[in-house]
Structures are given as structure tokens and as C-alpha cells.
Structure 1
Amino acid sequence: MPTFRLSTFAAAPPERVFAMWTDADRFPEWIGGVTGVIDRVGPASAAGSRYTVQFGRMASPTEVLEAERPRHIRTRFGNAILKGESDVTFTPDGAGTRIDQVITTRGFVSAVFGWIFSTGSYQGSFQGELETFRKLVEREA
């Protein structure tokens, strides 16, 4: 299974970073193509919670597998073009937070799209979304 590793530093405390990362209402602000989040069962910050992320007509059912506020969250997601897991740690680092994300894809199609999204830092790429998130959380810190 292909694995993609991303990292950035946000000039905001881990509590703030984790809270924004798990605020499903804010996903459209930093995750490319998200048009909404529906079918919510529990908060996006708690293990066992489920929700569906909408990308136009495409849906990505998501389950929170592990959550340790404000340090860690692991989710399983999936749709026709990209399915896998996201494992994110939030580590205090001086006056801010180191965000480390590991995305592991499942299946051939997901491997291809994962490779495309992992290349570069353009808007909609994995790194591009992480940097958009960083700017958002820093602006509001």
C-alpha cells in the first residue's frame, strides 16, 4: 500500500490546531473539492465517529479510528478514486505545533490518484491542503 508522508509547522498551540483539524464544518475551507459533510454520527474529534465528506456528487464515508485530543487522530476514508487511512500527529514545538500526516492508500486506483495528489504543493495536492490548513489556523490563532 503506497504511503505518503507530509509535514508542516503551524504557529498555533496543539489544542487549537486539533480543534480546527476536526471541525467538519471547516473542511471545505482547506480540503480541496469538499462541498459538505453529511450523515454525522458523533463529533469528528472522537474515535468511533462517522461522517460522509461530499466532493460534489462523489461521497467519501469516513470513520474516526483513533483520537487522542490534542495529539493524534487516525481516520479511514474512501470513495471510487481515493481510499485509505490518514494518521495525523500534532506535536508541541516551541511556540507552535508540528503537524505530521501519513496517508496510506488502498487499491490500484487509489495508488495512482495518491501519487498524483502527492506530487507538488499545488492547491488540491496533499501538501497544498496541509499548507492551506496551516495558513487558516495561523490566521485565527
Structure 2
Amino acid sequence: MPTINKSISISAPVEKVFAYVTDPTKLPEWFVGLTEVTDVSGSGVGQRNRWTYSMIGIPFHGESKITEQVPNQRSVSKQEGGMTSTITFTFTPYEGGTKLDFDVDYTIPVPVLGKLAEKIVFKRNQREAQLSMENIKERLEV
């Protein structure tokens, strides 16, 4: 299972970063490849939504569920459907702002991609994760 780990410092309070990152209606604004979030229900642990994600032009559909959440500290969600993943965000006060850690464990949805294709997809996902983090920073440091 490939893993992506990214971190970024954001000049905004932890509460603001947490509220933005954990609001599923905001995800398509900053999460590269995520094109749609619908059917949001609940809040905090147990919150669910449906999503559409595009990887190298191929749309995947699935459902997300928050499995762990400590306000302004940590949020963990599990994604199932077209892709299976666990996404963990950790929020830490840092130099008057926030250090945001983004960790993703995922399964590549196509079982026989081949080693070369898997490496290409992994590198692309790494770039998209970094861009996603930069999008959050750009939107919150206004």
C-alpha cells in the first residue's frame, strides 16, 4: 500500500485551518483531483460523504467516513469504493500559525497496473498531494 506524507506551515490559527480542512464541502476547492463531494451527513466522528476523484483522467466514486477526530488536533477518514485509503490530518500550533501534516495510505485501484505505471501514478499522487497542501496555504493566508 503506497503512502504519502506531506507537511506545510500555514500562517493561520489552528482553529481556522482545522475548520477549513475538515469541511467536506470545501474539499473540491483545494484537494487536487477531487471533483465533487455530495450527500454530506453528520459531523465529527461518523460524518459521511460521497465523492468523485479523478486519477489520470479516470473518475473514481466512493464514500468517506470520519473514523477519528480530535478538534483542532487530528482528523482521520477512511475512503472506500473506487479507491481505498486512509487520510490523516494532524494540526499543530507552530510559530504563531499551524503546521499541517497530511498522511495518506492508499491502494491503487487497478490491480494489474504494472510496476512502471504504479511508479508513475505514485509520483503524480505525490505532486498532487503537495499542490493540495499549497492550495490550503494559499486560501487561508489571505
| TM-score interval, smaller chain | 0.7 to 0.9
Asked whether the 8 Å contact 2:24–2:40 carries over to 1, the reply is: no
State the shift of 1:72 in Å.
Answer: 0.3
Q: TM-score, normalised by structure 1?
A: 0.81
Partner residue of 2:100?
Answer: 99
Spell out, residue by residue over 1:30-76, the C-alpha distance to the aligned partner (whole angstroms, 9 max, x if none): 11243332122202xx0111111234764231010101101100011
Asked whether the 8 Å contact 2:91–2:100 carries over to 1, the reply is: yes
SS of residue in 1 equivalent to 2:141: helix
SS of residue in 2 equivalent to 1:131: helix
Asked whether the 8 Å contact 1:6–1:102 carries over to 2, the reply is: yes
Tell which structure's C-alpha radius of gyration is larger: 2
SS of residue in 1 equivalent to 2:72: coil
Q: Which runs of 5+ in 1 are unaligned?
A: none
- Whichever structure has more strand as a proportion of its residues is 2
Change (3 A) 1:129 1:12: same
SS of residue in 2 equivalent to 1:133: helix
Instruction: Map residues 1-141 of structure 1 onto 2, 5 A cutoff.
Output: 1-43=1-43, 46-55=44-53, 58-80=60-82, 82-107=83-108, 109=110, 112=118, 113-118=121-126, 120=127, 125-139=128-142
Q: How many residues align?
A: 131
Q: TM-score, normalised by structure 2?
A: 0.81
Q: Which runs of 5+ in 2 are unaligned?
A: none
State the shift of 1:90 in Å.
Answer: 0.3
SS of residue in 2 equivalent to 1:63: strand
